[in-house]
Structure 1
Amino acid sequence: MPHDFASQDREQSQFRFRLGFAGVAVLLCFTLLFIRFFYLQVLQHDYYATRAEDNRISLIPIMPNRGLILDANGVVMARNYSAFTLEIIPSKSGDLDETIDALAAIIDIQPRDRRRFKKLLDESKNFESIPIRTKLTDEEVARFAANRYRFPGVEVKARLFRQYPQGPLGAHAIGYINRINAKDVDWIEENEQSANYKGTEHIGKTGLEQHYEFDLHGVTGYEQVEVDAGGRAIRTLARTAPIPGNNLTLTLDAKLQEVAEKAFGNRRGSLVAIEPSTGGILALVSTPTFDPNLFVDGIDPQSWKELNESLDKPMVNRALNGAYPPGSTFKPFMALAALETGKRTPGQAIADPGFFNFGGHQFRDDKKGGHGMVDMYKSITQSCDTYYYMLANDMGIDNIAAFMKQLGLGQATGIDIAGESVGVLPSPEWKKRRFKRPEQQKWFAGETISIGIGQGYNAYTPLQLALATATLANNGVMYKPHLVKYITDTRTGEKRLIEPKPLRTLPFKQQNIDTIKHAMVGVNKEGTGARAFAGAAYESGGKTGTAQVFSLKGGNYKESATHERLRDHALFIAFAPADKPRIALVVLVENGGFGAQSAAPIARQVLDYYLVGKEAKGPAAEDASGEESADVH
C-alpha cells in the first residue's frame, strides 16, 4: 500500500505541537511552583517561621496565689490551699450522664456535686474543663489513675482553692469568690486586665474580695512548653513566675466580730462599730449570715435556693443595704441641730402634756400624761417625743434636711465595699423626685412632725447611723469608714497604709457637742439605757430607739398581739469611753421591740469586750423591764 506522506507529516506536526504544549504547560507549572516556593520560603519566611514556632511552643498561664485577708491582729480570714479536682471536658467525654455514672462507681459523687456540675455546665463553654468533684483524697486520686484509660476527656488537676477558715464570721465584710461569668469578663476587659486573667477561673464577687480584686489577684505567670504534633508536652523551654497577690490587713477585729455576732443569738439585725478617730471599721455584723466556703467551688442549686428564698434574707448585707427608720436614735442629732440653729437652748423647757396637736391631728407621746417639764437633757435621757414634735415644727423640714446631710445621713459613705445603699433623707425636693403624681409630690407640714422623732420617710443604713454617731463622738470630725488598714506587697514586704481620710470637719460649736454628749451619758446612767449599763466599768454615752415597722393608724401598739415580723425594730447608738471615745457603734435588731430591751444589751456586751476584755458566755439577754416606747405611734 502506498504511503500517505501527507497524513504522516500531519500526525508528526500534531505530535510536535502537543509535545511543545505539554512542555510549555510543565514549564509554566514549575514556574508557578517556583514562584510560590519563593514566596513562601523567602518572602514569607519570617511569618511562617513564627507560625511554626507558635505551633511548636505553647504558652501556658500559671495562676498566681491570691492574696490573704487578715484581721487587725493577724487572724486569717481568707487563704488558699492546694487540692486535687476531678474535671470533665464535655466536648471530649461523650455521653455526660453515662460518664458521671461510671465515675461514681469509683469516686464518691454526691447529688449536690451533680447539681453543681449541671449549673456550671450551663454557664460554661463546651470545651472548658468543669469540676465534678473537688478536694479528692489521695485514695480517690489513685483509684481514678488506675481507671484513667476508661474516661476520655476526664482528668485530675491540682488547683488552688480559696478557703475562709472563720466560716460565716464576718462573711458580709470579707465576701467570697466564684467562677467568672460573662459580666465579669466585660468588667475585666473594661479595666484592660484581660491578659492578666488568662486561665483565671474565679473572681471576687462581693465584699472585700470584690473591691480589692486587682490587689488580691496578683500577676499571671507563663510557661513556654514545646509540644509535638499531637499536642503533648515535650519539655519546658522558659518560665515566667507568677507574682502572688497582695495581702490585706483589716481594721476589723475578728474576736470583736465574734462577740458581736454571738450577742445577737438567733435574732436578725446589724451592728457597725467604728473607731471615731480614724474611720476604721472594728466590727460589721449582718445577721443571719452565710458560709462563704459554699460559693468557692460553685454553690449547688439546692443550697442557693435555701439561702436566696429564706425569709431571713441571709445574703442581704443589712449594715450597708438595709434602710431603717432611726427612731429615737435620731433625737440627739435633732437636739444638736436645734442648738446650732438657735432654735433651742439647753435649759429651755417645754411642758409635755403627753401629746402635740397639729392640723387637727394629735401626735401622742409614749408616756401617758406626759413627762412634765422637759429641757434638752431630759428630752434625750427620757426620750420625750413631744419635745421633738415641737422642735421639728419650729425648725421646718428644710433646716432638718440640710443639717442631717452634713452628718452623712441619706448619703453614701464611700466605704470600701460595693453596693452601699443611700437610704432616704426626706425633703420636699426628695419627695418631688420620688413620686410621679403632683398630689403626691406636695410636702405637708404634718409630715415634718414625724420626721422629728426619726419616723416618717426617714430611712438610713446602720453604717450611716454609726458614722453620724462616730462624728459626734469625734467632736465633728468625720472620717471615711474603711475596712482595710494596709496592703502588703508579698514580694517586697512593703506595707501601703490606707491613710485615714477626713471627709469633713463640721463647724459645730464644742459647747453644743458637749451638751449632747453629756445628755447621752445621762441615758446610760439614769435614762432609758441605765438598766443595760448598770455596773459598767467605764462611762459611755448612748441613745435607745424604737422604730415603727407599719402604721398603727391611731391604734395602740401591743407587742404580744403583733406578728413577730411586724413588731418594731430596736435600735441603740453608743460611744465609749465618754471622755475620749475609742469606739462608736449602732445596734439594730429587726422586730426586736424596744431599744433598751433588745439592742442596748448587745451594745453592752460589745463594749465590755472591747474596753475591758470581758467576754459574755452567751447571747445578750433581752431586758425584761423594756423601755418607755419612744416612737411607736
Structure 2
Amino acid sequence: MFEFKKTTHHLKRRMLIRVVVAGVFAALCFGGLGARLWYLQVVRYEGLAARADQNRIAVVPIPPRRGEIVDRNGVVLARNYRDYTLSITPAYVKQDMEDILNELGQLVYLSANDRRRFFQNLNQSGRYAPILLRNNLNDTEASWFAAHAYKFPGVDLSARWVREYPEGESAAHVLGYVGRISEADLETLEREGRSGNYRGSNIIGKKGIEKTWEETLHGRTGVEEVEVTATGRPVRTLSRIDPVPGSDLVLSLDIGLQKVAEQEFAGRRGALVAIEPSTGDVLAFVSAPSFDPNLFIDGIDVENWRKLNESPDHPLINRPLYGTYPIGSTYKPFVGLAALEMGKRSATERIPDPGFFELGGQRFRNAGSVAYGPTDMHRAIVVSSDTYFYSLGPDIGVNALHDFSQQFGFGQITGIDLDGERRGVLPSTEWKRQAYKKPDQQRWYAGETVSVAVGQGYNAFTLLQLAQATSVLANGGVYMKPHLVSLVENSQAGTLTPTVTEPSHVIPLKPENLEVIRNAMADVMRKGTARRAFAGAPYQAAGKTGTAQVYSLRGAKYKASEIDERLRDHALFMAYAPMENPKIALALIVENSGWGATVAAPVARRVFDYWLAPERQTAGHRPGEAVVAGRAPDSGSVQ
C-alpha cells in the first residue's frame, strides 16, 4: 500500500513538472509572438505600412492632352483624337513572345508591319517599358480583347491621345512632328529635370514647332492611386490628380496663303518665306518638296523612310532655315543703302558701265556682258548693273559692309521659333582668318570684295535671313523678330499671351536714303527686270530679282542647256507690297531654274495677289480672333 502511494505521488510530481515546463514553454512562445507582433506593429509600423500600401496601391500616371496648333484664322493644323492601343510589358509576360502574338492574332488583327515594328522596339526598350503592339483598335476589337484580357498577363489595352496633322504635307516643316520617346530624349529630360512629367507618355516633339514648343504643348501629367488585388486587378480608385492639358498655339501662319505658295513650287525645289513687316509674323513658310508628318507619329516604316531619306530632292531638309545660298542681285539694294548711309556715293553720281569692271587686271562682267553706259544708283538697281555694284565693293570695304548688313539679320541667327537654324556666312576679314588655317588662305583679296558686293563670293545666307532683311527694309529699319507662334492660349486660365510685341532694335537709317532704294525697287516692278511679272498689278510693289551661280564659270559663257540640271543657276526674288504701307514682305528661291525675273518673280506675284486681294483683306482676321470666338472647351484627358 505504501509503495502504491509513493508511486502515485511520484507520477503526480512528474506530471506537475511537465505541466510547468509546458506552461513556461507556452508562455515563452506567446511572449515571443507578442514581442514580434509589438515589434512589427509598433516599431516597424511606418515602414511596413508603406510597403503594404505599395503592394495594395498602384500609382497610375495620366498623360495630359497635348495642346493643339491652329493657324491665324483658327484652322486646325495639329490636333488629337482618342485611340485604343495594345501594348506589352515584357517583364510580365510568362510565355514565348511569338506564341503570345499568335494567340493575340486570333482576337485582334496584327499585320506583318505591326509584328516587325514590335520586335524592333522590343530590342531597343527595357523589360519594364510598355511596347506598342497595335493601335487604332475599333470599339469591337477593344471590347473583344477586354473580355479575354485575363488570358494575357502583361498585355494591356488602353486609350490614348493620338496626334494628327489634317493638312498633311502643307506646312510640314513648320509644324514638325511628334514621335516615340527615345533613350536620347529620356536622357535629355532627366538632365533637365523634366522626366517626372513624362511618366505614362510615349511621344515627344521631334521637329519644328512640336519640338521648340514641347514644354508648352505637353501639359502636366496627372496621377491616380488605384487599389489592386494581388494579381494586379484594379478594385477602386483611392485618389486622383487630374492632368493639366497643354496650351494651344496660334500660329501667325495663314494656311490659305501657305497653300497658294506651295502650289507654285509643285515639282520644283526651293523655299519661300513671307513676313508681315510691322509685326514680324511669318505668314507663309515653304520648303519644297515637303513630306507627310503623319508618317512619323507611331514610327515611320522602312519603305517610307528610305524614300524620304534617299531622295535626291531632300524633302526632310528645312530649306528656308537650313539651306544657305548666295543671294545674287537681291543683295544689291542693301549694298546701295550701305553706300548711301556711309557717304561713299551719292544717289545721283553716275559711273560709266562698259559691261565690265576691271580691278588688278581682272575683269568682272555684267550678266550677258550688257553695257548700260552712264549709270546712277537708281538705274543700277532697276536694270541690275553688276558693274555699278562691283565698283561699290572696294569703296565700301568688306568689313564695313559686314557691319552694316548684319543689322538686317544677314549672317545672324534670327531667333525664329524653330530648331536647326543656320547662321550662314556674312564674310569679313576676321571671318576669313577664323575659317581657314593656312596664312595664305586667311588673306583677304580686293577681288573678293568685288564678288561679295553683288551677292556672290563667300556670301551664303538662308532664305529666312533674306526675307527678314526685306521685311526690315520695308519697315523702315525697325527689326521685329520673326516668329511663327503668335499667341499662346491657356485653356485652363482662359488667357492669350502674345509672343513678340516690341522691336528687337531699330537701324538708324536716313529717310532720304531709304526713299532712293524704295523708289528704285518700285521701278524694278514698273519698268525693270520684274515688269512682266507685275504688269497690271492693282497695287504698287517694290522688289529685286536675282540669279545666283551654283558654281563658278571661270569666264565661260553660261548655257543652261549644256549644264547638269542641279548645277544650273538659282532664281531668286525679294519684294514687299504695297509700297507705301507694306503688309507683306517675302523672299523666295527656285533652285536650279534660271533667271529670277522669269521664274521667281511670277511666284511672288501670285502670292501678293492672294494676300492683297480686297475681298481677303476685308474678311481677314487678326491672329487669335477666330480661335477665341470659336474654339471648343477642353474635352478632358484620356484615362
TM-score norm. by structure 1 comes to 0.90
Whole-Å separation in 1 of the counterparts to 2:595 and 2:73: 35
What is residue 267 of structure 1 aligned with on the other side? Answer: 268
**Is residue 557 of structure 1 aligned with residue 558 of structure 2?**
yes
Q: Structure 1, residues 436-485: CA drift from partner, whole Å, max 9, x if none? A: 22221111111111101100110011111111000000000010011111
User: Which residue matches 1:59?
Assistant: 59
Between stretches 98-107 and 472-481, larger displacement belongs to: 98-107
What are structure 1's unaligned runs of at least 5 residues? 1-18, 616-633
Distance 1:109 1:222 in 2: 31
**Counterpart residue identity of residue 580, structure 2:** D
Deviations 1:568-590 (A, max 9, x none): 11110010001110110001111
Question: How far off is 1:522 after superposition?
Answer: 0.7
Whether contact under 8 Å (1:207, 1:418) holds in the other structure is: yes
Matching residue of 1:444 = 445
Q: Contact (CA 8 Å) 1:521, 1:540: kept in 2 or not? A: yes
CA deviation after TM superposition for structure 1 residue 547, in Å: 0.9
SS at match of 2:285: strand
Distance in 2 between residues matched to 1:122 and 1:506, nearest whole Å: 56
Identify the residue that residue 39 of structure 2 maps to in structure 1. 39
1:125-146 alpha-carbon deviations (Å, 9 max, x no partner): 2332222322123344455457
Give, in whole Å, the separation in 2 of the partners of 1:109 and 1:49. Answer: 44
TM-score (norm 2): 0.89
Give, in whole Å, the separation in 1 of the partners of 2:48 and 2:597: 80
Q: In 2, Cα distance between the equivalents of 1:488 and 1:350? A: 57
Tell me, yes or no, if the aligned pair for 2:247 and 2:488 is still in contact at 8 Å.
yes
Name the structure 1 match of 2:88. Answer: 88
Shifted more, 194-203 versus 382-391: the winner is: 194-203
Counterparts of 1:204-243 in structure 2, within 5 Å, are 204-243=205-244
Match of 1:397 in 2: 398
CA distance, structure 1, for counterparts of residue 51 and residue 109 of structure 2: 44
Deviation digits for residues 253-285 of structure 1, max 9, x if unmatched?
011111110111110111000010010110111
* 1:457 corresponds to: 458
What's the CA shift for 1:300? 1.5
- Return closer, same or farther for 1:492/1:356 CA change in 2, 3 Å cut-off: same
Q: Percent identity?
A: 51
Size of the aligned set, in residue pairs, is: 599
- State the 1:529 CA deviation: 0.7
Q: Are the aligned partners of 2:408 and 2:469 in contact in 1 as well (CA < 8 Å)?
A: yes
Whole-angstrom CA distance in 2 between matches of 1:313 and 1:32: 78
CA contact (8 A) 1:115 1:300 kept: no
- Residues 225/466 of structure 1: CA separation in 2 closer, same or farther (3 Å cut): same
292-301 or 336-345, which deviates more: 292-301
Q: Secondary structure at the match of 2:367?
A: coil
Contact 2:483 2:500 in 1 (8 A): no
Write the letter of the residue equivalent to 2:374: M
1:250 Cα deviation after fit: 1.1
Aligned-partner residue type, residue 401 of structure 1: H
Deviations 1:201-241 (A, max 9, x none): 11111111111111111111111111112221111112221
CA deviation profile, 1:536-592 (whole Å, cap 9, x unmatched):
111100100111111112211111111111111111001000111011000111112
Instruction: Give 3-state SS (helix, strand or coil) of 1:350's partner.
Output: coil
**Structure 2 CA distance for partners of 1:560 and 1:95, relative to 1, 3 Å:** farther
User: Contact (CA 8 Å) 1:93, 1:154: kept in 2 or not?
Assistant: no
* One-letter amino acid of the counterpart of residue 305, structure 1: R
TM superposition shift of 1:57 = 1.4
Contact 1:276 1:584 in 2 (8 A): yes
Please tell me whether the aligned partners of residues 538 and 577 of structure 1 are also in contact (alpha carbons under 8 angstroms). yes
CA RMSD after TM alignment: 2.5
Q: Name the structure 2 match of 1:630.
A: none
Q: Secondary structure of 2:374's partner?
A: strand
**Match of residue 158 from structure 1:** 159
Residue 20 of structure 1 and its aligned partner are, at CA, apart by 13
Supply the distance in 1 between the matched residues of 2:119 and 2:290 (Cα, whole angstroms). Answer: 26
Equivalent residue letter for 2:560: E
Once the two structures are overlaid, the 10-residue window that deviates more, 594-603 or 569-578, is: 594-603
Q: CA deviation at 1:613?
A: 6.2
Separation of aligned partners in 2, 1:23 and 1:42: 27
The whole-number CA distance in structure 2 between the counterparts of 1:122 and 1:316 is: 29
| Cα pair distance change 1:279/1:384, threshold 3 Å | same
CA shift in 2, pair 1:389/1:111, >3 Å:
farther
Corresponding residue SS for 2:556: coil
**Greater shift in the superposed pair: 432-441 or 467-476:** 432-441
Distance 1:566 1:27, change over 3 A: farther
Aligned to 2:620: none
* Per-residue deviation, 1:54: 2.5
Query: Cα offset for 1:411?
Result: 0.4
Residue 78 in 1 paired to residue 78 in 2? yes
Partner of 1:587: 588
- Mark the CA change 1:114 to 1:543 in structure 2 (over 3 Å): closer, same or farther: farther
Letter of the 2:530 partner, please give it: G
C-alpha displacement of 1:36: 5.0
Matches within 5 A, 1:403-482: 403-482=404-483
CA distance in 2, matches of 1:99, 1:543: 66
Q: Distance in 1 between matches of 2:48 and 2:562?
A: 84
Give the deviation of 1:33 after TM superposition.
Answer: 6.4
Tell me if the contact between 1:64 and 1:217 (Cα under 8 Å) persists in the aligned partners: yes
Distance in 2 between residues matched to 1:97 and 1:437, nearest whole Å: 61
Q: Is the 8 A contact 1:113 1:300 kept in 2?
A: no
Contact 1:320–1:461 (CA under 8 A) maintained in structure 2: yes
Look up the match of 1:49.
49
Query: Following TM superposition, by how much is the alpha carbon of 1:49 offset from its aligned partner in structure 2, in angstroms?
Result: 1.4
Q: How far off its partner does 1:38 sit? A: 3.8
Aligned position for 1:175: 176
1:7 corresponds to which residue? Answer: none
Distance 2:367 2:388 in 1: 12
- Aligned AA (2:50): T
The alignment partner of 1:352 has SS state of coil
Q: What residue number does 1:333 align with?
A: 334
Q: Superposition pairs for residues 506-585 of structure 1, below 5 Å? A: 506-585=507-586
Does 2:243 correspond to 1:276? no
2:129 — aligned with what?
128
* Alpha-carbon distance, 1:301 to partner: 2.2
Secondary structure, counterpart of 2:305 in structure 1? helix
Deviation at 1:63, TM superposition (A): 1.2
